A and B are shown apart, each in its own frame.
Chain A
């Protein structure tokens, strides 16, 4: 049971816009920033979004993040086949005193 809650799956067709939600509590998302990681099949996770809505260099602007209260979202616009991956949200938890992850969302491009 993950501390942060994500839908287990999401899907879309090429060119569509897809959003993935991440729900937490006041001790994690509610008081700390959220990061998103992309894990392509058979590879290590890679930083996708940091500090709620910042993109590292090299990440296309099709990817965007937002946060409101105790929830966060990752949006992917202009969906492409290479976006098919697992996506994880993460945040520091002030009560547990460690980083907590969402259970991951498997994105399928139909």
Chain B
């Protein structure tokens, strides 16, 4: 079935970087953009950016510009999100989601299971 499987939980120190992976299966990886959304504990969903797996083109929310990099490896159908200069406020669950579009509308489906990133000294 169509699914996205993410890498495991990470614990990082302030100032470090983290790289989360998202492996797609059950569909052609290059057909749909991959988006990244994060959720701090007890908080809502926050969109971070998108990446086109075919071209490698990206678009980032202004809040994360300069700190986030989204890449991919098409040979293994895997997308990556790297966030640098981590601070405690970056502690959150990070989700990847495939951006399916049809008839001029787009939506996120499926979602990965989430990766908890904890930033602590």
Contacts and interface: CB of A to CB of B under 8 A. Distances in A.
Contacts of A50: 105, 107, 109
Residue with the greatest number of chain A CB neighbours at <10 A, chosen from B106, B110, B113: B106
Interface stretch (A15-23, A69-77, A100-108): A100-108
Contacts of A32: 105
Contacts of B112: 44
B46 interface: yes
A88 B44 contact: yes
A51 interface: yes
A10 interface: no
B107 A46 contact: no
A103 B49 CA distance: 18
A44 B95 contact: yes
B44 A2 contact: yes
Contact of A51 (B44, B105, B108): B105
A51 B45 contact: no
A27 B9 CA distance: 36
B64 to A, nearest CB: 10
Contacts of A56: 109
15 contacts: A35-B108, A37-B45, A43-B113, A44-B111, A45-B108, A45-B111, A46-B111, A47-B108, A51-B107, A90-B107, A98-B47, A98-B49, A100-B47, A101-B37, A101-B44
